[in-house]
Structure 1
Amino acid sequence: MTESDVAAVAELKEQWAALPEPAAPDQRRRFAETLASWIERRGASLIARVADHEAELVGMAWLVAFERVPNIDQTVRLTGDIQSVYVAPAFRGAGVGSALVASLLEAADTRGIERITVSANHAAAPLYERLGFRPGEFLFERRRPSSTGLSSP
């Protein structure tokens, strides 16, 4: 991913966040720097894919890979989590998201990543199901309680 890609991906992340107000130029610049640093720190544990149309980024998808605790019979166990898949509204329904995620899965298979998880909304669930994902029967999550003492949704 090039430096100009990082700036464009930062813009996609802003769209993905659906902020109530657009970010200020300085905030946008700082976020692009933060994102570039985050990408650099992840090194080989990060697989990122972007989609472009006429030299404009219109989609992104990320897979963060990490090692699981070794087993006696399998000392290297890799898992991955797909995150921040986003396609600009004008390009949805055209296979862009499927192509991005399929590319992540191909890269994960090449690296020997055994298990991939993703948190999907109702709109994206059919995409993941078409690509072989199934709901996990015993996949649980816990979210940190908010400072008010109430759980986050």
Structure 2
Amino acid sequence: MTPHSATSLEQEDFDATFSEWLDANPRKFFLAEENGHAVGMLNLMVFERMPKPGTVPSRWVYLGNVYVRPAFRNAGVGARLVEAAIDFSRDIKAVRILLSPSPASRTFYARLGFQPAEALNVLTL
């Protein structure tokens, strides 16, 4: 795969790049529809922790790419999508859900129970 800048991807290149990304990063997708038309989506990546003797295996979830079409925002679509993702994560017995909110979305996620993480470390490259 040849590296591309976000502004240089032509549709043909984007399709191939997206397909490679999806194959390398299997995700669970959630879709919100109205009258058979997509109005919002999000995806989850489930991470299985390496098993260790004497411990119960665990997993965690990364929530990403939440998007609601502008005409459907502020009507509960995004909240219902995230709530469905939370329910799914509970069903698979995930121990946590992580995300990287934009400054504008922090209050949205806070209303749904997400809190800033203080127990994680990050190296920004």
TM class, shorter-length: 0.7 to 0.9
Asked whether the 8 Å contact 1:48–1:104 carries over to 2, the reply is no
Q: Aligned Cα RMSD in Å?
A: 2.4
Match of 2:112 in 1: 131
Distance 1:36 1:54, change over 3 A: farther
* Sequence identity percentage: 31
Q: CA deviation at 1:131?
A: 2.0
Q: Could you tell me how far apart the structure 2 residues matched to 1:90 and 1:38 are?
A: 29
More helix by share: 1
What pairs up with 1:4-153 in 2 under 5 angstroms?
27-36=10-19, 38-40=21-23, 42-43=25-26, 46-144=27-125
State the TM-score, normalized to the length of structure 2: 0.78
SS at match of 2:118: coil
Aligned length: 120
Q: Residue by residue, what CA displacement relative to the aligned partner does 1:90-117 show, whole Å, maximum 9, x if unpaired? A: 2111111111111111111111111110
Partner deviation per Cα, 1:58-100 (whole Å, 9 max, x = no partner): 2110110011233433241201100111111221111111111
Separation of aligned partners in 2, 1:100 and 1:29: 30
Unaligned stretches of 5+ in structure 2?
1-5
Structure 2 residue matching 1:123: 3-state secondary structure: helix
Is the partner of 1:93 in helix, strand or coil? coil
Unaligned runs of 5+ in 1: 1-18, 145-153
Mapped to 2, the partners of 1:95 and 1:132 lie a distance apart of 15
Letter in 2 for 1:72: P
TM-score normalised by structure 1 residue count: 0.65
